[in-house]
Structure 1
């Protein structure tokens, strides 16, 4: 039923579905792989690109599944798509701030979220169609990100990173899907980040609220 109250697991899955599409879009827009290796597709009634390389798709799906597992634990502050140059230095970071996601106990993950009543009780949930409209608007901004970013060097690679909340427990299961990384891109001699920040969009779907922005290392030229 379209307007039935979803569970928190449903909301997290909606976000990770969006994250998957966003990752493919970023890889296409920033030419991490040749444009000819992407297919045309539609998501949220919007034209998107999807890598057709099986290994790339498998890696992205596995990474997003690992992100989803941590989101369900409620300890994730931010999810980031990191882009590195050939010398393994980070040059861009696409940040999804999920710090305002609710934190639920494991026993409550599959209980339908209540709609907020006049007394303010319950959890505010938007109908799926409204949520997808916001996802579509965010995808539109990501699709045009090249116009507001400086060029990146050829031969860049990417990975997915998560930042945990202050009281979050680091994922230390074996085999280890996560490796520790620096949370910031780069610093100058004074210790200040050498980055420019470009806002993308905020999504507010009831209690599932997140913001998206792009961080890019400053260079001597370009539009950044």
Structure 2
């Protein structure tokens, strides 16, 4: 039986927060590929992570793809440019429609300058220990801000993230058992949605690892192709009028769990796309309005 390293992370820097997230994302991708039968289940090893039984692909090319994809996500996470990461399962050709979308939202992660990702978070001083300054500042416009007024992240020395990750995998596995089986020969890709903020650059032009996602998966569809990126072996394309992609949100959304430990704040949910319900094979499946 394989075993991942599973000690509780110390979330004292933004780098540590991102590393914990990417560690979780790696295991989550292996788990979803196993549970949704994207590859034969005999090609997965039994493993333990966060003291919880999980599965790990033993195919070298699959493992390398996941490692490279998560490394690309980590590079953008350290720049604080990603709002959420999604594992998308597509129908077999020729349609290749998105059938399921597993969303890991990190929109609540802190914004840290790239030069400060390894700088320890400063704990907020307790009211009793705050120095008392009875003298008014000589020049309020030029004085630096009071450290007590600056927003700070005060994570515990060790977190309960392993327990929260265990609960997330348990909820995820339960949710996956309630989904309709997928057709054979499905494919998958990893996509990122950029923060909708001024100064956030889409990594498509400056790096060859990302391409524009198909229009239906764009957060905003416009002449520049939108703000989402997909892994290099995903489908490309873009353009069209400015509106939300019709494949975002899907027909049915299943919340999985919210996690919070210090600066680590994440939400996980599953979206089922229109392609799964187009033939009307599931009772109660309705197409939602955009």
TM over 0.5: yes
Which residue in the other structure is 1:75 paired with?
81
CA distance in 2, matches of 1:151, 1:175: 36
Q: 2:173 aligns with which of 123, 143, 156?
A: 143
Which residue in the other structure is 1:104 paired with?
112
Which residue in the other structure is 1:92 paired with?
100
Q: 1:114 aligns with which of 122, 126, 145?
A: 122
Q: 2:154 aligns with which of 99, 124, 149?
A: 124
1:136 Cα offset (Å): 1.1
1:105-141 C-alpha deviation (Å, 9 max, x unpaired): 1221001123344357631314534011111111111
CA distance in 2, matches of 1:204, 1:217: 28
CA distance in 1, matches of 2:177, 2:123: 39
Q: Measured at CA, do residues 155 and 115 of structure 1 come closer, stay the same or move farther in structure 2, by a change above 3 Å?
A: same
The residue matched to 2:122 in structure 1 has which SS?
A: coil
CA distance in 2, matches of 1:36, 1:13: 29
Runs of 4+ in 1 over 6 A off after TM superposition: none
Q: 1:221 aligns with which of 264, 268, 281?
A: 281
The residue matched to 1:74 in structure 2 has which SS?
A: coil
Report the structure, 1 or 2, having the larger helix content. 1
TM normalised by structure 2 equals: 0.70
Q: 2:202 aligns with which of 170, 185, 188?
A: 170
Which residue in the other structure is 1:39 paired with?
45
CA distance in 2, matches of 1:162, 1:15: 14
Q: Measured at CA, do residues 184 and 202 of structure 1 come closer, stay the same or move farther in structure 2, by a change above 3 Å?
A: farther
Q: 1:212 aligns with which of 268, 273, 282?
A: 268
The residue matched to 2:26 in structure 1 has which SS?
A: helix
Which residue in the other structure is 2:72 paired with?
66
Root mean square deviation of aligned Cα: 2.4
1:147-193 C-alpha deviation (Å, 9 max, x unpaired): 2212222211111000001132111356510111147559xxxx865
Matched-pair contact (CA < 8 Å) for 1:151–1:222? no
The structure, 1 or 2, with the larger RCO (C-alpha pairs under 8 Å, 6+ apart) is 1
Deviates more, 1:40-49 or 1:144-153: 144-153
Matched residues, number: 220
Matched-pair contact (CA < 8 Å) for 1:198–1:214? yes
The residue matched to 2:47 in structure 1 has which SS?
A: strand
Matched-pair contact (CA < 8 Å) for 2:17–2:263? no
| Match status 1:180 vs 2:185 | no
1:4 Cα offset (Å): 5.7
1:222 Cα offset (Å): 3.5
CA distance in 1, matches of 2:266, 2:26: 15
Deviates more, 1:156-165 or 1:143-152: 143-152
| Match status 1:50 vs 2:56 | yes
CA distance in 2, matches of 1:151, 1:98: 28
CA distance in 2, matches of 1:45, 1:143: 15
